[in-house]
Amino acid sequence: MQKAMLRIVLIICATLLAPVAAALAGEAEFKAAQTTIDSQIRAFLADDTQTAYGHAAPNVQRIFPTVEAFMGMVTGGYMPVYRPKSYAFGKVEQTGPNSITQQVLIVGPDGKDYEAVYTLELQPDGVFRITGVSLRASNTLST
C-alpha cells in the first residue's frame, strides 16, 4: 500500500515539475542564443571579423564562403547591427526543437531605432549559430 501511495506521489510531483523543468531548459537555450548574438555584435564592434563570421551558421557560410564576402553583406545592408549605439534583447521564441527566434532592439549609428529579428539554430556541436537576420526601421520599440 505504501509503495503504491509513494508511486502516486512521485507521479504527481513529476507531472507538476515537468513544466518547470521545461521552462528552465528553455531559458538556458534562450540565454545561449542571446550569448551568440551578443558575441557577434561585440566582435563587429571590435572589428574581429573572423569571430563574427564564426557565429554564422553553415547555411550562411555557404552563401558567403569567405569572411570578406560575409562582411561585405553585413556592412552593405546591416549597418545598425554592425555598429549599434546600443541594443537590447526583446521577445524570444522557440520555433522548433533546435531553433530560436530572438528580437533585438537597436539604436543604430544614425541614432534611429531598428528591430532585428534573429533566427538561430542549435548546431551538432551544441552551439547556437545565426541562420538569418531580418532588419527593419522601427518607430516604436517594444519588448
Percent of the chain at pLDDT exceeding 70: 80
At residue 139, the pLDDT reads 74
Q: What is the pLDDT of residues 38-90, one digit of tens each?
A: 999 999 999 999 999 999 999 999 999 999 999 999 999 999 999 999 999 99
pTM of the model: 0.80
What is the rounded distance in angstroms from the CA atom of residue 58 to the CA atom of residue 130? 9
Would you say 138 and 105 are in contact if contact means Cβ atoms under 8 Å apart? Answer: yes
Would you say 57 and 109 are in contact if contact means Cβ atoms under 8 Å apart? Answer: no
| Three cell numbers written together for 71 | 562582411
The sign of the dihedral angle between the CA atoms of 126, 119, 65, 49 is negative
Cα–Cα distances in angstroms (integers) from residue 126 to residues 47, 62, 129, in the given order = 26, 20, 10
